[in-house]
Amino acid sequence: MPTMAQTADHKIELPAYANKIMLILDERGMKELSFSELDKTAAIIEVYLLMEANTTIPNDEVSYDKLEVIRSLVIPDLLFDQRIGTYVILGCEAGMANSLKKQAEQAGFSDQEIRVLSVGEVEAKLFCVKCYHYNSINSQDTVLCKHCQTKLDVSTHFSRVRDAYLGYVAI
């Protein structure tokens, strides 16, 4: 049976066959995310905290096989050193989570092996298919491109290449 990790908004499913789970958390992710369900997995759990060395590490309800405070510079090496069957959970602010996800992909992790739980404000971008510039998305269905002034329909299609939703010319 799959195990779940959750925030107030997200639930992520981890396969029952995971050999190891790497949690990479920043200070905010450590405070806002709950991983109590991970105790039910047989996988090895390693936690890497991106924070200042003098920060107090909380005594959480989860038992870890390894807990280490690290700097973001060592993350690529950690990711490249992992074996098959390792899953990565990123619990960080959105910008950091996206950066870490790209590093994990470069290290050879697939989308199925990476789980992202962004904390804080997530700024969604809209890619204009007419002028190729990015715009911010509000809660509107249409957006006026700041560069070419074209009215764009906000698509549900998210481009991993552009790291943005596609904005099609409104008819």
3-state SS string for 71-88:
CHHHHHHHHHCCCCCEEE
Question: What whole-number distance in Å separates Cα of residue 171 and Cα of residue 49?
Answer: 48
CA R_g for the chain: 18
Query: Across the chain, what does the average pLDDT equal?
Result: 80
Helix (H) or strand (E) holding 18: none
The tokens of 38 are what? Answer: 């991970």
pLDDT > 70: what percent of the chain? Answer: 80
User: What letter would DSSP give residue 170?
Assistant: P
Residues in Cβ contact with 7 at an 8 Å cutoff, skipping those fewer than 6 apart: 32, 33, 34, 117, 119
Question: What whole-number distance in Å separates Cα of residue 24 and Cα of residue 50?
Answer: 7
Q: pLDDT per residue over 60-88, tens digit each?
A: 545 666 777 777 778 888 999 999 889 99
Q: Which domains does the chain have, with CATH numbers?
A: 3-119 (3.40.50.80), 125-169 (no CATH)
Residue 19 has pLDDT above 90, yes or no: no
Q: pLDDT per residue over 128-141, tens digit each?
A: 999 999 998 877 78
Over residues 97-120, mean pLDDT = 89
The tokens of 95 are what? Answer: 């910008």
Decide if 152 contacts 125 (C-beta within 8 A).
no
| CB neighbourhood size of 30 (10 A) | 21
Residue 152's pLDDT band (cuts 50, 70, 90): very high
Question: What whole-number distance in Å separates Cα of residue 8 and Cα of residue 119?
Answer: 10
Decide if 24 contacts 90 (C-beta within 8 A).
yes
Global pTM reads: 0.70
Decide if 100 contacts 91 (C-beta within 8 A).
no
